[in-house]
Amino acid sequence: MSITPPTLATAPAPTTNPLREGLRIERTPAPCAMVIFGASGDLTHRKLMPALYDLAVERLLPAGFSIVGFARQDMSTSVFRAHMRDAVTQYARRAPLDEAIWDSFAAGLTYVRGDFTDVHAYDALVAELERLDRERGTLGNRLYYLATPPEFYGPIAENLGRCGLQHGPAGSWQRLIVEKPFGHDLNSARTLNNTINSIFDEQAVYRIDHYLGKETVQNILAFRFANGIFEPLWSRQYVDHVQITVAESLGVEGRGGYYEHAGAIRDMVQNHMMQLLSLIAMEPPIELAADPVRDEKVKVLRAVRPIQPALTHRFTVRAQYDRGFVHGSEVVGYRDEERVAADSTTDTYVALKLFLDNWRWAGVPFYLRTGKRLPKRVTEVAIQFKRAPHLLFHADTAEPMEPNVLALGIQPNEGISLKFAVKVPGPTMQLRSVNMAFNYGSAFNITSPDAYERLLLDAMLGDSTLFTRRDEVEQAWRIVDQIVAGWETAPVTELPTYAAGTWGPQAADRFMQDDGRAWRQP
Ligand code: BG6
């Protein structure tokens, strides 16, 4: 029997949105069903459902789009819909909730209760997916989203395989989206990759790093490769060093149990910071497509010079936040957070100096730092250029000349600024640094979509450019494992601390001073 997909408010709009034109042409995904494993969890509540609803508002979801929530909690479909409505009301970008769009979106939401490890629980899922194919025209196209604790990723993939859910009718597609953390180290990541790839082809695996879905992160590619003026300067010839900062003012927010085993190095460096590093340092890909882009990114990671364990202290700083004041409120130290050991030596701050052993970047240090409970939330990549070779103006300049810096603001300030020196008006040749700035908000007058909107849509469209490939994940773990191995050769009972609300430990400042440089204050 052939089914005509129901017409929903989520049907594609006939007109194209000019803001989406440019690098890619707007497309609407084929009808499909998405299964969210871990549908009662925080990620579904705060990110996935609001992003899907926002896509519905933008009319970017296909007709008949359906979501099956799968989780252990006992819950009816109507209770699930009510929870999801709360989630969307609270977190969706497009507020207030549009009742007509919500009703049509919610008609595609159902819930199946099941234990992730119990293969029999998947019978009900199979039946529900078949019903959706029949009644909502989802054509056997499936997106499986693993939003569960990571220990279930392997078992869920295996159970999908046992039920034959990795396949479908001819012409259909089945894709698996995997959340972070992807493994705990190189070995566990390889094991997980092997399990997943024994069921799903690599092309069907979409490993999420939500930083890649951020507009400003994607703009790194546009900025570098759509302009003729910056790329010639983008090398050891003109760049003194690069600073990548991912600062957060939040603490561990009740995730102490997870964070104790991760620390900043696994939570932020292995994924988000390695992605920023790859995009900043990569060679131009031959085309803007998944494999050419990821081939170039993985080459950067492969070029990261290994840090010998005995020298780890010269290339890394780690520290932990102590109590202090953030945005004027007193906050506890890391060791006093819930589910954190009183003698924990988990890093909440990491600074690294990395070198890339390749022609473009030989000898240029890349300084990376990330921390929780820093004074503010700010993510920025700053390219600091070499000074002019001969200073003509030195004698008349009261302030020391600042170097040229190109700063790519990732969040919350979305934009780009370029610092250069100009003459101060007046009778003498006095110089001062000024900033030339581009700001997304004022230039386009729109709010950027949430990273998950873009990534979910791309996964439905089968575009994995903004997802991490197996070899990228494994290369990033190679780098992190070496650093952790270095730390473990000299175990500590106390880490350096920094007061919450400050820019990290003094050791991090000395780390830069020793190289005759300083961290920026973004
Ligand atoms: C997550 C980390 O991957 O990224 C969190 O697990 C962190 O600890 C978060 O807070 C930061 O993301 P964003 O988008 O707020 O910078």
Q: Predicted confidence band at 522 (pLDDT cuts at 50, 70, 90)?
A: confident
380 lines ligand 1 (CB under 6 A): no
Is the pLDDT at 152 greater than 70? The verdict is yes
**pTM of the entire structure?**
0.93
The first and second tokens of residue 510, run together, are 């000395």
pLDDT score, position 457: 97
Question: What is the rounded average pLDDT of the residues 94-118?
Answer: 97
Phi, psi of 35 (to 5 degrees): -110, 125
Q: Does residue 455 lie in a domain region?
A: no
Higher per-residue confidence, 238 vs 494: 238
Is the pLDDT at 18 greater than 50? The verdict is no
244 with 332, same domain: the answer is yes
Q: Predicted confidence band at 421 (pLDDT cuts at 50, 70, 90)?
A: very high
In angstroms, the CA 283 to CA 360 distance is 9
260 with 340, same domain: the answer is yes
pLDDT score, position 441: 87
69 with 162, same domain: the answer is yes
Helix (H, G, I), strand (E, B) or coil at 384: strand
166 with 271, same domain: the answer is no
In angstroms, the CA 156 to CA 22 distance is 38
463 lines ligand 1 (CB under 6 A): no
Element (H, E) at 101: helix 99-106
The atom number, within ligand 1, closest to the CA of 267 reads: 6
Is the pLDDT at 9 greater than 60? The verdict is no
Please say which residue of 156, 179, 202 terminates a domain.
Answer: 179
The first and second tokens of residue 214, run together, are 């951020």
Question: What is the rounded average pLDDT of the residues 377-393?
Answer: 92
429-438 LR contacts (CB < 8 Å, sep 24+): 429/393, 429/396, 429/397, 430/396, 430/397, 430/398, 431/393, 431/396, 431/397, 431/399, 431/401, 432/399, 433/401, 433/402
Higher per-residue confidence, 522 vs 282: 282
Of 15-24, 89-98, 174-183, the least confident = 15-24
- pLDDT tens-place string over residues 43-60: 999 999 999 999 999 999
Nearest residue CA, atom 9 of ligand 1?
268
268 with 166, same domain: the answer is no
- pLDDT tens-place string over residues 348-383: 999 999 999 999 999 999 999 999 999 999 999 999
164 with 304, same domain: the answer is no
In angstroms, the CA 368 to CA 352 distance is 5
Q: Which of 261, 272, 390, 394 is catalytic?
A: 272
Contact 332, 320 (CB under 8 A): no
Contact 485, 357 (CB under 8 A): no
- pLDDT tens-place string over residues 257-280: 999 999 999 999 999 999 999 999
Q: For residue 387, what are the domain limits?
A: 213-447+466-513
Closest CA to 514 of 385, 351, 405: 351
What residue has token string 């871990």? 38
In angstroms, the CA 39 to CA 73 distance is 9
In angstroms, the CA 82 to CA 126 distance is 24
In angstroms, the CA 320 to CA 325 distance is 15
Contact 366, 317 (CB under 8 A): no
The first and second tokens of residue 114, run together, are 């099941």
306 with 348, same domain: the answer is yes
Nearest residue CA, atom 13 of ligand 1?
211
Specify burial of residue 321 (Cβ count, 10 A radius: 0-12, 13-18, 19+).
Answer: buried
User: What are the helix (H) ranges across 421-501?
Assistant: 440-444, 451-461, 470-489
What residue has token string 């490890």? 117
248 lines ligand 1 (CB under 6 A): yes
Distance 372 CA to ligand 1 centre (A): 10
What residue has token string 């030339």? 436
**Residues facing 209 on adjacent strands:** none
**Cα angle: 362, vertex 394, 432; to 5 degrees:** 85
Q: Which domain CATH number covers 329?
A: 3.30.360.10
Phi, psi of 452 (to 5 degrees): -70, -30
Distance 452 CA to ligand 1 centre (A): 13
Choose the residue to mutate in 265, 268, 276, 321 for probing ligand 1, maximizing ligand atoms within 8 Å of C-beta: 268
In angstroms, the CA 162 to CA 157 distance is 9
Q: Does residue 184 lie in a domain region?
A: no
267 lines ligand 1 (CB under 6 A): yes
Q: Which domain CATH number covers 159?
A: 3.40.50.720
Distance 247 CA to ligand 1 centre (A): 10
User: What are the helix (H) ranges across 317-419?
Assistant: none
Is the pLDDT at 423 greater than 60? The verdict is yes
In angstroms, the CA 510 to CA 194 distance is 42
Choose the residue to mutate in 214, 217, 267, 378 for probing ligand 1, maximizing ligand atoms within 8 Å of C-beta: 267
Number of C-beta neighbours around residue 171 at 10 A: 9
* Cα dist from 253 to 52, 61, 90, 107, 259, whole Å: 25, 32, 18, 33, 10
49 with 107, same domain: the answer is yes
Number of C-beta neighbours around residue 35 at 10 A: 25
Q: Does residue 452 lie in a domain region?
A: no
How many structural domains is the chain composed of?
A: 2
The first and second tokens of residue 497, run together, are 């601390």
Contact 451, 211 (CB under 8 A): yes
Closest CA to 504 of 487, 485, 519: 519
Contact 343, 319 (CB under 8 A): no
218 with 345, same domain: the answer is yes
Nearest residue CA, atom 4 of ligand 1?
268
Q: Does residue 459 lie in a domain region?
A: no
Nearest residue CA, atom 5 of ligand 1?
267
Q: Does residue 454 lie in a domain region?
A: no
Q: Does residue 432 lie in a domain region?
A: yes
The first and second tokens of residue 226, run together, are 């759509």
In angstroms, the CA 315 to CA 442 distance is 39
The atom number, within ligand 1, closest to the CA of 211 reads: 14
97 with 224, same domain: the answer is no
**Residues facing 321 on adjacent strands:** 498
pLDDT score, position 290: 97
Is the pLDDT at 314 greater than 90? The verdict is yes
Q: Does residue 474 lie in a domain region?
A: yes
325 with 246, same domain: the answer is yes
Please say which residue of 179, 204, 236 terminates a domain.
Answer: 179
Helix (H), strand (E) counts: the chain: 16, 17
Q: Predicted confidence band at 13 (pLDDT cuts at 50, 70, 90)?
A: very low
Is the pLDDT at 429 greater than 90? The verdict is no
- Sequence-distant (≥ 6) Cβ neighbours of residue 361 within 8 angstroms: 235, 236, 281, 303, 355
Contact 473, 296 (CB under 8 A): no
Q: Predicted confidence band at 66 (pLDDT cuts at 50, 70, 90)?
A: very high
Distance 208 CA to ligand 1 centre (A): 12
Please say which residue of 163, 179, 195 terminates a domain.
Answer: 179
Distance 267 CA to ligand 1 centre (A): 8
308 with 390, same domain: the answer is yes
- Sequence-distant (≥ 6) Cβ neighbours of residue 270 within 8 angstroms: 181, 476, 477, 479, 480
Q: Does residue 185 lie in a domain region?
A: no
Nearest residue CA, atom 8 of ligand 1?
267
Contact 62, 53 (CB under 8 A): no
Contact 68, 93 (CB under 8 A): no
Catalytic (active site) residue 272: yes
Of 245-254, 305-314, 440-449, the least confident = 440-449
- The average confidence (pLDDT) of the chain is 93
